[in-house]
């Protein structure tokens, strides 16, 4: 991984995961607020985890179509550096959330084929960052975190007006190729650093960063 490529590790649930992510060299850690997810954390759990995150690592809350009441409770309880919107939030809602909470907002955009790329252009003016992820399969329980990649050739050589992260099915085995083929300067990983759904593995976290550097 070129030294300036940044890694976000998403779906951390235990204090040991925070220590392992920091030790591995993550730049961002993500907490999932989605009850159906094996990675879901409560506000109390996230508050405790967030306090353990070393200075310099950004704490990201992943929410799905959250209303103001949920976001009020989240932002009051958990010290955060960024909100990741992983649902069907419109560009207007992204702008509203950004203005109301004063936090940088990253919008996840699911890609399956070429027409989906237009969504990136739609959100670039309002989001602070873009998360370019695989589109979930129809009927999937989870809108993300499905260990699925998309066809990277769709975005090879493309540039956008906002910083972006590549996500979807990244593993220690394909991270280097993902960077090489897409030109991504930021990678987001969840399933690829787990030994079972929702169970992060310190060895895989280290391997992800090390393999990507190779």
Ligand X SMILES: O=C(O)c1ccccc1NCC(=O)[C@H](O)[C@H](O)COP(=O)(O)O
Alpha helices in 102-142 (DSSP H): 117-123
Report CA-CA distances (Å) from 169 to 14, 162, 173.
22, 22, 10
17 binds ligand X (CB under 6 A): no
Question: In angstroms, what is the minimal distance from the CB of 54 to ligand X?
Answer: 21
For ligand X, the closer CB: 32 or 99: 32
135 binds ligand X (CB under 6 A): no
129 binds ligand X (CB under 6 A): no
Question: In angstroms, what is the minimal distance from the CB of 2 to ligand X?
Answer: 20
At 46, list the tokens: 């996230």
49-57, 75-83, 91-99, 188-196 -> range binding ligand X (CB under 6 A): 188-196
25 binds ligand X (CB under 6 A): no
Q: In the set 5, 17, 26, 37, which binds ligand X (CB under 6 A)?
A: 37
The rounded distance, in Å, linking the Cα atoms of 85 and 46 is 17
Q: In the set 59, 86, 93, 107, which binds ligand X (CB under 6 A)?
A: 86
First to last CA, the chain: 6
**What is the chain's percent helix, strand, coil content, to nearest 5?**
35, 20, 40
SS3 category, 40: strand
b/e burial code for range 3-38 (CB count within 10 A of at least 16 → b): eebbbbbbbbbeeebbebbbebbbebbbbbbbeebb
Question: In angstroms, what is the minimal distance from the CB of 79 to ligand X?
Answer: 20
Return the residues of window 146-185 that contact ligand X according to CB under 6 A. Answer: 146-148, 167-170
For ligand X, the closer CB: 55 or 67: 67
Name the site residues for ligand X (rule: CB under 6 A): 10-11, 32, 34, 37, 39, 62, 64, 86, 131, 133, 142-148, 167-170, 188-192
């Amino acid at each position: 991984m070129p030294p300036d490529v940044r890694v976000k590790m998403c779906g951390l649930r235990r204090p040991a995961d925070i220590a392992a992510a920091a030790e591995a060299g993550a730049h961002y850690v993500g907490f999932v607020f989605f009850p159906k997810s094996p990675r879901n954390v409560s506000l109390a759990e996230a508050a405790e985890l967030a306090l353990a995150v070393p200075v310099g690592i950004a704490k990201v809350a992943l929410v799905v179509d959250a209303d103001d009441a949920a976001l009020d409770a989240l932002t009051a309880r958990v010290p955060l550096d960024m909100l990741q919107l992983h649902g069907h939030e419109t560009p207007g809602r992204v702008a509203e959330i950004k203005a109301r909470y004063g936090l940088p907002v990253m919008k996840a955009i699911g890609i399956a084929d070429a027409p989906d790329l237009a969504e990136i252009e739609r959100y670039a003016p309002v989001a602070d960052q873009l998360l370019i992820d695989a589109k979930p399969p129809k009927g999937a329980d989870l809108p993300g975190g499905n260990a699925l990649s998309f066809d990277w050739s769709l975005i090879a050589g493309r540039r956008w007006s906002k910083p972006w992260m590549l996500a979807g099915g990244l593993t220690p085995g394909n991270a280097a190729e993902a960077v090489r083929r897409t030109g991504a300067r930021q990678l987001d990983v969840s399933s690829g650093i787990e030994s079972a759904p929702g169970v992060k593995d310190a060895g895989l976290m280290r391997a992800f960063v090390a393999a990507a550097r190779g």
